[in-house]
Amino acid sequence: MKAKVYVTLKSGILDPQGKAVQHSLETIGYNAAMDVRQGKLFEVTLADGLSLDEAKKQVTEMAEKLLANPVMENFTVEVE
Amino acid sequence: MKFGVIVFPGSNCDHDCYHIAKHVMGHDTSYVWHKDASDLSGYDCIIVPGGFSYGDYLRPGAIAKYSPITEEIKKYANGGGLVIGICNGFQILIEAGLLPGVLMRNRSLKFICQDVYLKMENTDTPFSSEYSAGQVVKVPIAHHDGNYFADDATLKDLEANNQVVFRYATVKGETSDEANPNGSVSNIAGICNKNRNVLGMMPHPERCAEKVLGNKDGLGIFRSIVKHLTQS
């Protein structure tokens, strides 16, 4: 089973990296890119035998404890 | 009096801190390897030095927070022990939950290594009593992620409890945006916890605490600690 954890900056938190990427997109002609927010994607391969519920529970804990910093980041978990 | 300097894989200011505590201040000082998770109660002050623990992977300090020694640092701090985190040490103390807020990437996105001026905001702490209130000192910074941020409620709390110990300022002590090297909210360069026994700061006092270094402005931090320990 695999899980994906998307970590994104909370709204209101300045994202200078996203801003730099947006500027660069503008430079190469993509004026439609009004705003860019940069985040992280974690792909976690899980041990066999976990139930879907248990997998979701564990991966959510992983995100809360380590993968995201709740002061500045939100996260979403997908298990498949 | 005994200082402990924590060493993580990737710490690189540990020797500087050791040198100041041991040779400049003249106190018994030991390195503490992060895997040797032994009780820290034999120490009078724990220094979490700067550097790049675990290569700053994930987020600066994020991996170090689950290193065995960090639990011991938390126990030590929660028991009232003096803990000072400098640069990466500050990032680790924040990730570990000993200090509030977060240190984000510098607003310029650049690693900044330069002297900055700090205005002393609170000199009633074990780490800053050798300075006078409002005094401006010159201390170097060297970081990529020193952009302090906290939500409004946390900031209000920090200000109400006088937990902001230093702010980035001009040489005249104006805490203006021009004097802010990294985008930190309210020009915050260093904070302490409510109990005043844990300090985190981005600037490096250990790099300016000896005459041969050309600047002794940072020595007051170490002298304050020793004064506090001598009196208590």
Q: Do B109 and A66 touch (CB under 8 A)?
A: no
Contact pairs from chain A to chain B, CB under 8 Å: 31
Q: What is the full per-residue pLDDT of chain B (232 aa) written as tens digits?
A: 999 999 999 999 999 999 999 999 999 999 999 998 789 999 999 999 999 999 999 999 999 999 999 999 999 999 999 999 999 999 999 999 999 999 999 999 999 999 999 999 999 999 999 999 999 999 999 999 999 999 999 999 999 999 999 999 999 999 999 999 999 999 999 999 999 999 999 999 999 999 999 999 999 999 999 999 999 7
d(CA B116, CA B170): 8
Domains and CATH numbers, chain A: 2-79 (3.30.1280.10)
Of the candidates B106, B149, B183, the beta carbon closest to that of A72 is on B149
* Minimum CA–CA partner of B62 in chain A: A66
Supply angle C-alpha B194, B133, B16, rounded to 5.
75
* Minimum CA–CA partner of A21 in chain B: B109
Q: Do B104 and A17 touch (CB under 8 A)?
A: no
d(CA B160, CA B166): 15
Q: Do A66 and B107 touch (CB under 8 A)?
A: no
| Contact residues on chain B for A71, CB-CB shorter than 8 A | 101-102, 149-151
pLDDT at B38: 85
Of the candidates A16, A69, A71, the beta carbon closest to that of B105 is on A16
A24 to chain B, closest Cα gap in Å: 14
Q: Which residues pair with B113 in a beta bridge?
A: B142
| DSSP strand pairing (B198-201 vs B112-120) | unpaired
Q: Which CATH class is domain B2-231?
A: alpha beta
B147 to chain A, closest Cα gap in Å: 10
pLDDT at A53: 96
* Per-residue tokens: B136: 């401006």
Q: Which pLDDT band holds residue A65 (cuts at 50, 70, 90)?
A: very high
DSSP letter string, B12-52: -SHHHHHHIIIIIS--EEEEEETT-----TT-SEEEE--B-
Evaluate whether B147 touches B104 at the Cβ level (below 8 Å): yes
Residue spans of the domains in chain B: they are 2-231
pLDDT at A17: 87
Tens of pLDDT, residue by residue over A16-51, are 889 999 999 999 999 999 999 999 999 999 999 999
| Contact residues on chain B for A66, CB-CB shorter than 8 A | 58, 62, 66
d(CA B212, CA B114): 18
Look up residue B198 and give its DSSP letter: E
Look up residue B211 and give its DSSP letter: G
A4 to chain B, closest Cα gap in Å: 16
pLDDT at A12: 85
- Residue whose pair of structure tokens reads 């009196």 in the numeric block: B231
Look up residue B132 and give its DSSP letter: P
Active site residues of B: 87, 204, 206
Q: What is the dihedral of CA B88, B94, B100, B103, to 10 degrees?
A: 50
Evaluate whether B135 touches B167 at the Cβ level (below 8 Å): no
* Minimum CA–CA partner of A10 in chain B: B151
